[in-house]
Structure 1
Amino acid sequence: MLTLRRLLAAHEEAIIETGTAWVREVAAVDLAGRPASETRALVAESVRTYAALLLAGDPRPRDAFIERVTTLRSNLRFRISTLLRGFFAFHRALEPILARDSVPHQLAFDILRRVDAACFEAAFLTADTYARKLHEVVDTAQRELLRREKLAALGGLVAGVAHEINTPLGVAITAVSLMQDCVDELSHAFAAGGLRQRDLRDGLARAGEAGGMALGNLQRAAGLVTGFKQLAVDQSSESRRRVALGPHLCELVASLAPLYRRGPHRVDVDVRAAVLVDTYPGALAQIVTNLLQNALVHAFPEGHVGTVTLSIARADDGRVELGCADDGVGIPPRLLRRIYEPFFTTARGSGGSGLGLHIVHNLVTELLCGTIDTESEPGRGARFTIRFPADPGA
Structure 2
Amino acid sequence: MIKPLNHEFILIVDDNPTNLSVLCAALNSEGFRFRVAVDGETAIAQAERNQPELILLDVQMPGIDGFETCRRLKANPATQNIPIIFTTALADTESKTKGFSLGAVDYIPKPFAQEEVIARVRVHLQLKKLTESLEQQVSDRTKALQQAQVQLVQQEKLSTLGELIAGIGHEINNPINFISSNIPPLEEYIAGVTELLLLYEQEYPNPTAKITTAIERLDLNFVLEDMGKIVNSLQLGSERIQNLSNSLRNFSRSDSDTKIPADLHQGLDSTLMILQHRLKANGERPSIEVIKSYGVLPEVNCYLGQMNQVFMNILANAIDALDEAIMQGKMSNLIPEIKIATEVDSEQLVIIRIADNGIGIPERLKKRLFEPLFTTKNVGKGTGLGLSIAYEIVVEKHKGVLDVNSQPGTGTEFTIKIPIE
TM-score with structure 2 setting the length:
0.48
Corresponding position: 1:145 with 2:145? no
Corresponding position: 1:333 with 2:363? yes
Cα distance, 1:320 vs structure 2: 0.7
Q: 1:268 aligns with which of 291, 301, 308?
A: 291
Q: 1:219 aligns with which of 230, 239, 244?
A: 239
CA contact (8 A) 1:340 1:361 kept: yes
CA contact (8 A) 1:373 1:386 kept: yes
Q: 1:372 aligns with which of 381, 394, 402?
A: 402
- Structure 2 distance, partners of 1:353, 1:243, is 29
Q: 2:391 aligns with which of 354, 358, 361?
A: 361
Alignment-mate amino acid for residue 347 of structure 1 = K
- Structure 2 distance, partners of 1:242, 1:196, is 69
- Structure 1 distance, partners of 2:394, 2:168, is 27
Alignment-mate amino acid for residue 370 of structure 2 = Y
TM-aligned CA distance change 1:164 to 1:284, over 3 Å: same
Q: 2:321 aligns with which of 268, 275, 298?
A: 298
CA contact (8 A) 1:320 1:388 kept: yes
TM-score with structure 1 setting the length:
0.51
Alignment-mate amino acid for residue 349 of structure 2 = R
SS at match of 1:233: coil
Cα distance, 1:316 vs structure 2: 3.2
Cα distance, 1:363 vs structure 2: 0.2
Q: Which residue of 1 aligns with 2:275?
A: 256
Q: Which residue of 2 aligns with 1:81?
A: none
Q: Which residue of 2 aligns with 1:285?
A: 308
What per-residue deviation string (whole Å, max 9, x for no partner) do you get for residues 286-342 of structure 1? 011000111111354214352111221112322111111111111111211111111
TM-aligned CA distance change 1:228 to 1:271, over 3 Å: same
Cα distance, 1:202 vs structure 2: 4.6
SS at match of 1:223: helix
Q: 1:315 aligns with which of 345, 362, 368?
A: 345
SS at match of 1:349: coil
SS at match of 2:313: helix
Give the share of equivalent positions with the same residue, in percent: 22
Cα distance, 1:179 vs structure 2: 10
Corresponding position: 1:240 with 2:259? yes
- Structure 1 distance, partners of 2:347, 2:163, is 34
- Return the structure number with greater strand share: 2
Larger gyration radius, structure 1 or structure 2:
1
CA contact (8 A) 1:323 1:383 kept: yes
SS at match of 1:373: strand
CA contact (8 A) 1:374 1:385 kept: yes
Cα distance, 1:345 vs structure 2: 1.0
- Structure 1 distance, partners of 2:171, 2:164, is 11
- Structure 1 distance, partners of 2:153, 2:265, is 31
Cα distance, 1:195 vs structure 2: 8.9
SS at match of 2:379: helix
Alignment-mate amino acid for residue 240 of structure 2 = R
CA contact (8 A) 1:364 1:386 kept: yes
Which contiguous aligned blocks of 4+ residues in structure 1 show a shift greater than 6 angstroms?
A: 148-200
Aligned residues: 250
The equivalences for 1:34-113 within 5 A come to none
- Return the structure number with greater helix share: 1
TM-aligned CA distance change 1:377 to 1:200, over 3 Å: closer
CA contact (8 A) 1:245 1:312 kept: no
TM-aligned CA distance change 1:349 to 1:143, over 3 Å: closer
Corresponding position: 1:206 with 2:206? no
CA contact (8 A) 1:172 1:218 kept: no
Cα distance, 1:381 vs structure 2: 1.2
Q: Which residue of 2 aligns with 1:119?
A: none
Give structure 2 stretches of 5+ with no counterpart: 1-149, 208-214
